Amino acid sequence: MTQTLDKKYLLNSQQMAEFVARGFIRFDGLVPDELNEAAMRDIDNNAIVGAPAGTPLSQCYEGTSIRQILDMPEIQGIIQSLVGADPLFDHDAIHVREPNQGSAQGLHADSIIDLRTNFDIQIMYFPHDIPLEMGGTLLLPGSQYRRVNEMDIAGYQNMLGQIAMVCKAGTILVLHHGIWHCGRQNKTDRRRYMFKVRLNPQVPQYRLWNTDDLDESYSKPKEIFAGRRDENSIQDILARGEPWFEAASGRLEVVNRIKQWRYLTGDDNFDVDYWLTRLENMPV
């Protein structure tokens, strides 16, 4: 489905800034129960079959519950805002965590080390309730710009501010491709399921979301270190640290976010707390 989408389904600039800062955005209970039940039936019947890598997403999953979920205008709006209206299918997986597992998966970033400023997204769909004892995907907010190669980081067992995806059926989690994550230990006597699909943009990721809320004032320089003035302003969202950030590297993470925001908006002068403008001052 690639027809024109009502703007109201697109992400707004605050949501985009949250994604740029934290590397994820979640929508709890977004998929209705009847589709969650259909998805569980399709999983049980092995009816969910992917496609060759590089297939337009619009051509995937015909006749399945996953197609119906992807065609929801809310999901289309998320996809379109981040990677364009018809991104390419990369790969998918139905991740299963067996009951009463002895340990969790090691922390990792998917694929291999990735130097791009443009990004893929991974949509994770949780078709049934996930209580804490069942595990849920663990993710580390703000880790997406760290250059690591897959399981190199498996020695990190716990990080301050990590999020365990405890959620209701129908929850959608959208991740930047670089986010650190893993499947937590399932301590229940039931199998845990999660469907994941990775998508590649086919278009430049330039102002794909609803930018109506980007007025002329949002990027104006503010006084440095004056405290956070407006919790929801773009600059403040991008400046907000994560609990696990080291003092020094945490500043570099803000720079990483500024560079990502510049890429997404085409505004090469955008800054937060003067971090890049100071370095770019080259009097002649």
Partner 1 sequence: MSATVRQKVMVLYLGTSALDSPVKGWSMYDGTGKDSYTTGDSSVPPYNNGLDALLDGWRVIQIPTLIPPYPGEEYTTSFMKYPFVFEKLEEVDA
Q: Taking CB under 8 A as the rule, does residue 111 contact partner 1?
A: no
Q: Which of 64, 185, 188, 211 binds partner 1 (CB under 8 A)?
A: 185
Pick the closest to residue 4 from 56, 76, 68 (CA basis).
76
Residue 153, Cβ neighbours under 10 Å: how many?
Answer: 18
Which amino acid, residue 54?
Answer: G
According to DSSP, the residues that pair with 180 across neighbouring strands are 140
Q: Taking CB under 8 A as the rule, does residue 238 contact partner 1?
A: no
Instruction: Kindly compute the dihedral angle of the four CA atoms of residues 273, 275, 280, 284, in this order, to the nearest 10 degrees.
Output: 60
Residue 1 vs 252, nearer CB to partner 1: 252
**Distance between CA 199 and CA 192 in Å, rounded?**
23
Contacts with 21 (C-beta within 8 Å, 6 or more apart), sequence order = 142, 237, 238, 240, 257
Q: Could you tell me which stretch among 19-27, 77-85, 158-166, 260-268 binds partner 1 (CB under 8 A)?
A: 158-166
- In angstroms, give the least distance from the CB of 182 to partner 1: 5
Q: Could you tell me which stretch among 11-19, 48-56, 74-82, 242-250 binds partner 1 (CB under 8 A)?
A: 242-250
Q: Which of 80, 210, 256, 265 binds partner 1 (CB under 8 A)?
A: 256
Q: Taking CB under 8 A as the rule, does residue 252 contact partner 1?
A: yes
Window 127 to 156, contacts with partner 1 (CB under 8 A):
135, 138, 145-148, 152-156
Q: Is 60 strand, coil or helix?
A: coil
Binding site for partner 1 (CB under 8 A): 102-107, 135, 138, 145-148, 152-160, 162, 164, 182, 184-185, 243-249, 252-253, 255-256
